[in-house]
Chains A and B, each alone.
Chain A
Amino acid sequence: MSVRIQREDFDVGAEIARLAHGRTDVGAVATFTGICRGDGIVAMTLEHYPGMAEAEIERHVAEAKVRWPLLGVSVIHRYGRLLPGDNIVLVAAASSHREAAFAAAEFLMDYLKTQAPFWKKEERAAGAGWVEARGSDDAAAARWSTPKAAE
């Protein structure tokens, strides 16, 4: 399990190789890469809470390991000033089969968006402003905690 908060870019292929290299029990690696969109943005600056960002993501990785039979997880979240097209975040989950890998990657992304202490400030031609949290992200995270009996 690897959680890294870094200014530097990452290589998705290298992260997949790290999870699968030298072992034959991994049958699936699902990855999600979040990328800085252009739509009117000159640049985006990501602020984070050092120490808590790592701790919060590690708590969710631990919960994902309880929920699914995972053989490895890598989460990388960048901070600092990013330009359209730059990588922001990577979640990679390895398992024997695809169901656990897909589900764990989606679970981790949903929680990362609403619970990990990161904030985006966008620079536009008209000025800079903080991105507002979206209710749809809260709803996406909440569906993982819906009691099965209530469905």
Chain B
Amino acid sequence: MKLLYFAWVRERIGKPEEEVEVPASVRTVGDLVAWLSRRGEEYAYAFENADVIRAAIDRNHVKPETQIAGAREIAFFPPMTGG
């Protein structure tokens, strides 16, 4: 699936997007954050305070407990500051 990162999540990970193969044991958005955090220092840094990270699946806001099965695009970003 395609992962997208925005704002300081993007800066900490060091890339705006990537394609990843996620193991079947990773079922929810929260599982995905935990799995990504183990991929390297940059991911651990980006997700060090997982409570503040927001996520969207296929351009809809979702919660950590949301299942990721069937997702094409998952985005991670800080709380929004537009307007």
A residues whose Cβ falls under 8 Å from a Cβ of B: 34, 46-49, 51-53, 55-56, 77, 88-89, 109, 112-121, 130-133, 137
Chain B neighbourhood of A120, CB < 8 A: 81-82
Q: In this complex, what residue of A is CB-closest to B59? A: A52
| Cα A115 to Cα B77 with chains together (Å) | 12
B residues whose Cβ falls under 8 Å from a Cβ of A: 4, 6-8, 56, 59-61, 75, 77-83
Chain B neighbourhood of A113, CB < 8 A: 80-83
| Cα A118 to Cα B8 with chains together (Å) | 12
Q: Could you tell me if B59 and A51 are in contact, using CB atoms closer than 8 angstroms?
A: yes
| Cα A137 to Cα B81 with chains together (Å) | 9
Q: Could you tell me if B80 and A47 are in contact, using CB atoms closer than 8 angstroms?
A: no
Q: Could you tell me if A130 and B83 are in contact, using CB atoms closer than 8 angstroms?
A: no
Chain B neighbourhood of A112, CB < 8 A: 82-83
Chain A neighbourhood of B60, CB < 8 A: 52, 55
| Cα A115 to Cα B59 with chains together (Å) | 12
Chain A neighbourhood of B81, CB < 8 A: 113, 118-120, 130-133
Q: Could you tell me if A89 and B75 are in contact, using CB atoms closer than 8 angstroms?
A: no
Q: Could you tell me if B78 and A47 are in contact, using CB atoms closer than 8 angstroms?
A: no
Chain B neighbourhood of A114, CB < 8 A: 79-80
Q: Could you tell me if B80 and A117 are in contact, using CB atoms closer than 8 angstroms?
A: yes
Among A116, A117, A118, A120: residue with most chain B CB under 10 A: A117
Chain B neighbourhood of A119, CB < 8 A: 6-7, 77-78, 80-82
CB distance from B47 to the nearest CB of A (A): 16
